[in-house]
Structure 1
Amino acid sequence: MKDPIAAHLEQSLAALQRVTQDAALLAAARKIAAVIIAALRSGNKLLIIGNGGSAADAQHIAAEIIGRYKQDRSGYAAMALTTDTSALTAIANDYGFEQVFARQVEGLGQRGDVLLALSTSGRSPNILAALRIARDRGLVTIGFTGSKGESLGSLCDHLLVSPSEDTPVVQQIHLTIAHGVCDEIEQTMMREAAKK
């Protein structure tokens, strides 16, 4: 019987190696970073949503953007819509769980903002509802999903598909790529600030 920890690490490593060799995925990640940089540069903000582990990742990514990733610098406008328990429970109670993110996007999102939707399955009704509202309001929509979630792309201006069906591995790839995107955002924004 194989050691579950070693087996998981091997599976994760294999998936990350596939990512490093996937030119289209890397190009998508670079484009996503550029889109977020353009929005932040213009005074817009990044809104991030997800359920379960992806909700935790949304908070993690927002913290890297508004706080810092590796370097001391100005904060950039980013927020996870997964953290306000009063809003989440009120909206779920009054409108249904499907609307917990859509109502927040409707109230907080403005044309030119970016909505980053993390969904390993690509089928979560509350994620899909939020993406529809974001499109209607003129937000740029980005989706991070797994290999079975490509249908999410119909609601996204930019889609990043992790080459795995295993939820924990998909989430690991999402966070690893998000860290790279955070690094690109930070380095680019700091270079631009230094030129002013």
Structure 2
Amino acid sequence: MRQKKKNRKGYTLVELIVVFALTAVFMTAAVMMLGAAMRVFHRVQNLSHAQTVADTLMEHMVSELSAAVNAPYDSGVPCLISADASRISFVEKHGIPIQIYIKDGLLQFDYQEVKENEVVISQAVDWYYGEEMYMNNRVERLKFTWKQENLVEVEMELKNQLTGYDFLSVRIIECYNLSQNDIETEPGS
């Protein structure tokens, strides 16, 4: 008589343990790689946001400072960099005195009142971008440095409030209407 073979479909306990162990190893490696990838993604995203914020702020400074005119500011000079280099004062292309500095982590543009024959031609305005534009970044440091001729270097350091990442942006601005003698630094610097 012919014997029937036993059909042994299924897995042994050892085979199942090996499969689960290998699966755990692969899953652990995948999670670790995904975690590292997510950290890199967030770092790049924060740097991208900081770059966008820095570009926007720098472009506004460039548009105002590059067209500064040779008209005396309150100090008697057309363009004055503060002693600690964190503030610059100048007269913009329409004859309005401006100061640029940091206030509460935001870049501040103070347009001062202009009067002619006791008539107010231009109202004083404290202008700045709203907090939403900063995308969780704050301006930590702002430094103006006179370089040569009519060149002013601007360094701006941003810090992300959520991650703590820093971003440094540097730009050289040519003041077209000013000469070397028109840009001064306050004594004490």
Instruction: Provide TM-score, normalisation by structure 2.
Output: 0.30
Structure with larger RCO (C-alpha < 8 A, sep 6+): 1
Q: Which has the higher helix share?
A: 1
Q: Which has the higher strand share?
A: 2
Which of 1 and 2 has greater Rg? 2
